[in-house]
A and B are shown apart, each in its own frame.
Chain A
Amino acid sequence: MTFTEIITNGTFLAVLGASIAVVFAGMGSAKGVGIAGEAASGLISEEPDRFGQALILQALPGTQGIYGLLIAFMILNKIGLLSGNIAVSSLEGAALLGAALPIAVVGYFSAIAQGRVSASAIGIIAKKPEELAKGITFAAMVETFAILALLASLLIINGLTVVG
């Protein structure tokens, strides 16, 4: 199989799409959760009681990684990789790769941005633990765009028909 054949192979393209959905969304979430976690650890050294609140805020940027996995799973399901009967044409593979892009790219950047918002929301609960909901809302504003990207990816995959 030549190189050109490989990169135009439908299975390869679809699997590449599934991979980048997991890789980029996961990388973003790892970074976002990390940023929030650092801030949370700083808070816990002073206020160990607020562990539960800090944990909620830290978990928020983690959803992009899950959305990435979700899209990867849907792609793999679509091409029949999980059931073992893989059948996908080049064009279909390329379309599935395209479907992975929204959640991969938006997931990556939104998770990091959300991690920063979560970190500063941890600053809110350091001073005013009763204002947790507002911090969560700020972080959720960022997540909106990850959700829209997830939705775009979902709808594209759902709309594609893969016959092989």
Chain B
Amino acid sequence: MIVKMSKLSIVGLMDERSAIVRRLMKLGVVQLCEISMTDEQREQILQMSQFDNAAKRIAQIDEELRKIQSSIDFLTQHAPKGKAKPSKREITFDSFVNPETYKGVWEKVFEANRLQKTLAAKKSELGSLINDHDALILWKKLELPVELKGTASTEIINGTVPPSADIDLFLKALDEIGCVFINIIASDSNQSYVSLIFHKSVSDKVNEQLRLVGFTRANFGEISGLVAENIKNLDNRISQIRQDIADISEQSEQRYNDLYEIEGLYDYIFNMRERRVVRENFLKTDKAFVVGGWTPADVAQKVKKEIEGDFTVFVDITQPEAGEETPVLLKNNRFIYPFEIITDMYSLPSSSGVDPNFVMAPFYWFFFGIMLSDGGYGALLSLLCGFAVWKLKTEKGSILDKMLKMLFFCGISTVIWGAAFGGWFGDLSLVVFGREIAPLWFNPAGDPMKLMIWAFIFGAFQLIVGMAMNAYILIRNGKWLDAVFDIGFWYVVFAGLVIMFFGGDLSYMGKYIAAAGGIGLILTQGRSEKHIVKKFLSGALSLYNITGFMSDVLSYSRLLALGLATGVIAQVINQVAVLPGGFGSIVSTIIMFVILTGGHIFNMAINTLGAYVHSSRLQYVEFFGKFYEGGGKAFAPIRAKVKYLRIKPLQLGGNNQ
């Protein structure tokens, strides 16, 4: 059912604007928008007043949110080991929007961010020290100060010889020059680390050899003195920094409890942003403002009383004009409500349209069960989803809440069909325990044609209901003749065809009934054409639509295919599981349980996805195609949106969003 909306206009004082927006947020049932006016009025009004521009403040708030988020991420990463995150903190709305609640929390954010920064700096310092250390360690045996370039008559060169060079040839060449002392400090797979001391007189020859071999002079950077001492220094610094990092990590862990307050601050600032965003709808002068809005009609008076009671405002309630699009809020009973998610994902009905959920939900539920069709999987699915709803305390109206509850109901449908077809984890009891569970109706694997026929019957029924919905919409809009021509005549044709096939002695009557319907269609389906020939032509062509109907019906054969797929794959899993010997030995029993558990979880997951997807598709393409037009915009009231806290909102009605 689509909830009726009332239009609001709120006129108030600028001084009280923030408080009013906060109150509207608390109520959570008003969507704010600009007041409706014509372009001409707008021109005039904008000479006296202006719309708020909150963009600059919003950008600031975004920056604040980023800071808070980074401190949350940091503290979450440094959670003390083994400490579970407590469940969401409950808070009343009034203390939620009160800045006093967050006194001193910003300091905690800054402290966390400071720790994060220091930690990052220390970590990068540690990295570069380790690099230096790794580079020096190979020169450890060099017993000369690294800055020493030579004496009065000698030169000292330290460097590396690449692996491509033939080091023996190089050493031999240097040896032939004479007056060269060669010290190979170290060598690894990459290169050799060499220190040369030679007399200045042979400098040119040595350099020539160095060039030939591709010698690279070592770069020790800023350091001086003996390598070993430098390494010792580095070691000291590295262990010092490691200690610092450990200290900071510990400090961060101790600050873990700050997280709860910081998360609260995040929610607070985020909702402050939300309140700024709606301000752009406010038309204001220095002293006063006016803003429009939508609220469900049944709570409009309450909202008016609530706001007028506490503030100097005037709230005007009007009904939307005929044909005016209003935001869409759906309200359905608790069985239909979860299935709204299917329609939500397709497209919300327009505010003047029909909420299809009450007819769609039963079909969805029914078909999902046929496709998953295994009592064991259905029971498991319902248990899991029921447990999740109970444990997570999902918020009513959220996607998660609808999804879990929908799957809960669909699980029940699956149990029913599983019992009808005798599928309980496939044929588990027969294969493993040797006892067959008899189907209450029949086993589709044994007689697939029977289920196929039934699938077509279910499908044709849904299509006929879809056409009836179309007729209902036409009649509601006063076009009852169209309903008779476009749907009524088709019904006559279908009725005739059914009697023809199943009527027995009455079959001959069916022929005439179908023909009568067909003639009706030929006479009426071309009524939008102008020329008389074209009228009959498009009337006759419309009979061709029967093929569209047939292919829609054939599409329901997926009920059989997916249902069988679940059952047969479950059988495969069961047979594979008992191959090693079943209960024969301990090992084979363990293997059996592992295969059964893993296999059935996999089969259930993949087939639940398949049932969800294809049951949706039947609604979207086959069923909605017959009558449904979406295009509505969801009702989006200003309300507290919290990620970390839990607020008890003042629910005044509706369950959308």
Stretch in contact with the other chain, from A41-49, A54-62, A91-99: A54-62
With an 8 A cutoff between CB atoms, is A136 at the interface? yes
With an 8 A cutoff between CB atoms, is B448 at the interface? yes
A62 to chain B, nearest CB (A): 7
Given A59-B606, A137-B620, answer yes or no on A151-B557 (Cβ-Cβ < 8 Å): yes
Contacting A59 at CB < 8 Å: which of B560, B561, B609, B621? B609
Could you tell me the distance between the alpha carbons of A134 and B616 in the complex, rounded to whole angstroms?
Answer: 10
Residues on B with beta carbons closer than 8 Å to the beta carbon of A154 = 448, 561, 564
Which of A131, A150, A151, A158 counts the most B-chain CB atoms under 10 A from its CB?
A: A151
Give how many B residues have a beta carbon under 8 Å from the other chain's beta carbons: 29
Residues on B with beta carbons closer than 8 Å to the beta carbon of A67 = 565
Stretch in contact with the other chain, from B34-42, B209-217, B406-414, B567-575: B567-575
Identify which of residues 118-164 in chain A touch chain B, using a CB-to-CB cut-off of 8 Å. 130-134, 136-137, 139-141, 143-144, 147-148, 150-151, 154-155, 158
Could you tell me the distance between the alpha carbons of A140 and B609 in the complex, rounded to whole angstroms?
Answer: 11
Residues on A with beta carbons closer than 8 Å to the beta carbon of B557 = 147-148, 151
Could you tell me the distance between the alpha carbons of A73 and B561 in the complex, rounded to whole angstroms?
Answer: 15
With an 8 A cutoff between CB atoms, is B580 at the interface? no
Residues on B with beta carbons closer than 8 Å to the beta carbon of A59 = 606, 609
Given A67-B565, A151-B560, answer yes or no on A144-B555 (Cβ-Cβ < 8 Å): yes
> When each residue 73-115 of chain A gets 1 if its CB lies under 8 Å from chain B and 0 otherwise, what string results?
1100000001000000000000000000000000000000000
Work out how many contacts link A and B, with CB atoms closer than 8 A. 75
Contacting B613 at CB < 8 Å: which of A60, A148, A150? A60
Could you tell me the distance between the alpha carbons of A67 and B606 in the complex, rounded to whole angstroms?
Answer: 12
With an 8 A cutoff between CB atoms, is B558 at the interface? yes
Given A151-B557, A158-B448, answer yes or no on A69-B617 (Cβ-Cβ < 8 Å): no
Which of A62, A69, A147 counts the most B-chain CB atoms under 10 A from its CB?
A: A147
A66 pairs with B609, CB closer than 8 A: no
A144 pairs with B613, CB closer than 8 A: no
B613 pairs with A140, CB closer than 8 A: yes
With an 8 A cutoff between CB atoms, is B80 at the interface? no
> When each residue 437-481 of chain B gets 1 if its CB lies under 8 Å from chain A and 0 otherwise, what string results?
000000000001100100000000000000000000000000000
Residues on B with beta carbons closer than 8 Å to the beta carbon of A151 = 452, 557, 560-561
B613 pairs with A134, CB closer than 8 A: no
A153 to chain B, nearest CB (A): 10
Residues on A with beta carbons closer than 8 Å to the beta carbon of B571 = 73
Could you tell me the distance between the alpha carbons of A60 and B617 in the complex, rounded to whole angstroms?
Answer: 13
Closest to A151 in B: B561
With an 8 A cutoff between CB atoms, is A70 at the interface? yes
B606 pairs with A66, CB closer than 8 A: yes
A67 to chain B, nearest CB (A): 7
Contacting B617 at CB < 8 Å: which of A131, A132, A140, A148? A140
With an 8 A cutoff between CB atoms, is A63 at the interface? yes
Contacting B572 at CB < 8 Å: which of A69, A130, A158? A69
> When each residue 538-580 of chain B gets 1 if its CB lies under 8 Å from chain A and 0 otherwise, what string results?
0000000000000000110110111011001101100100000
Could you tell me the distance between the alpha carbons of A35 and B568 in the complex, rounded to whole angstroms?
Answer: 28
B616 pairs with A136, CB closer than 8 A: yes
Could you tell me the distance between the alpha carbons of A69 and B606 in the complex, rounded to whole angstroms?
Answer: 14
Residues on B with beta carbons closer than 8 Å to the beta carbon of A141 = 617, 621
Residues on A with beta carbons closer than 8 Å to the beta carbon of B569 = 66, 69-70
Could you tell me the distance between the alpha carbons of A14 and B575 in the complex, rounded to whole angstroms?
Answer: 20
Contacting B558 at CB < 8 Å: which of A66, A73, A130, A147? A147
Closest to A130 in B: B345
Contacting B345 at CB < 8 Å: which of A74, A82, A133, A155? A133
Residues on B with beta carbons closer than 8 Å to the beta carbon of A60 = 609, 613
Residues on B with beta carbons closer than 8 Å to the beta carbon of A69 = 569, 572
Give how many A residues have a beta carbon under 8 Å from the other chain's beta carbons: 31
A63 pairs with B345, CB closer than 8 A: no
Which of A60, A139, A140, A141 counts the most B-chain CB atoms under 10 A from its CB?
A: A140
> When each residue 66-92 of chain B gets 1 if its CB lies under 8 Å from chain A and 0 otherwise, what string results?
000000000000000000000000000
> When each residue 24-45 of chain A gets 1 if its CB lies under 8 Å from chain B and 0 otherwise, what string results?
0000000000000000000000
With an 8 A cutoff between CB atoms, is B614 at the interface? yes
Residues on A with beta carbons closer than 8 Å to the beta carbon of B554 = 148
Could you tell me the distance between the alpha carbons of A143 and B616 in the complex, rounded to whole angstroms?
Answer: 13
Residues on B with beta carbons closer than 8 Å to the beta carbon of A82 = 575
A136 pairs with B561, CB closer than 8 A: no
A150 pairs with B555, CB closer than 8 A: no
Residues on A with beta carbons closer than 8 Å to the beta carbon of B110 = none
A137 pairs with B621, CB closer than 8 A: yes
Residues on A with beta carbons closer than 8 Å to the beta carbon of B345 = 130-134
Closest to A133 in B: B345
With an 8 A cutoff between CB atoms, is B346 at the interface? yes
Residues on A with beta carbons closer than 8 Å to the beta carbon of B568 = 70, 73-74
Could you tell me the distance between the alpha carbons of A66 and B572 in the complex, rounded to whole angstroms?
Answer: 11
Residues on A with beta carbons closer than 8 Å to the beta carbon of B562 = 147
B89 to chain A, nearest CB (A): 23
Residues on B with beta carbons closer than 8 Å to the beta carbon of A131 = 345
Closest to A140 in B: B617
A137 pairs with B617, CB closer than 8 A: yes
Residues on B with beta carbons closer than 8 Å to the beta carbon of A66 = 565, 569, 606
Residues on B with beta carbons closer than 8 Å to the beta carbon of A63 = 565, 606, 610
Could you tell me the distance between the alpha carbons of A138 and B572 in the complex, rounded to whole angstroms?
Answer: 30
Closest to B614 in A: A140
Which B residues contact A (CB, under 8 angstroms)?
Answer: 342, 345-346, 448-449, 452, 554-555, 557-558, 560-562, 564-565, 568-569, 571-572, 575, 606, 609-610, 613-614, 616-617, 620-621
15 extra interface residue pairs, beta carbon distance < 8 Å, beyond A56-B609, A151-B560: A66-B565, A70-B569, A73-B568, A136-B613, A136-B616, A137-B621, A140-B617, A143-B613, A143-B614, A144-B617, A147-B558, A147-B561, A154-B561, A155-B449, A158-B449
Of all A-B residue pairs in the complex, the 7 with the closest CB atoms, nearest first, are A133-B345, A140-B617, A147-B561, A147-B558, A151-B561, A70-B568, A140-B613
Task: Please list 28 pairs of residues, one from A and one from B, whose beta carbons are closer than 8 Å in the complex, sorted by A's number.
Answer: A59-B609, A60-B609, A62-B606, A63-B565, A63-B610, A66-B565, A67-B565, A69-B572, A73-B571, A74-B568, A82-B575, A130-B345, A134-B345, A137-B617, A137-B620, A139-B613, A140-B614, A140-B616, A140-B617, A141-B617, A144-B617, A147-B557, A147-B558, A148-B554, A148-B557, A151-B560, A154-B564, A158-B448
Which A residues contact B (CB, under 8 angstroms)?
Answer: 56, 59-60, 62-63, 66-67, 69-70, 73-74, 82, 130-134, 136-137, 139-141, 143-144, 147-148, 150-151, 154-155, 158
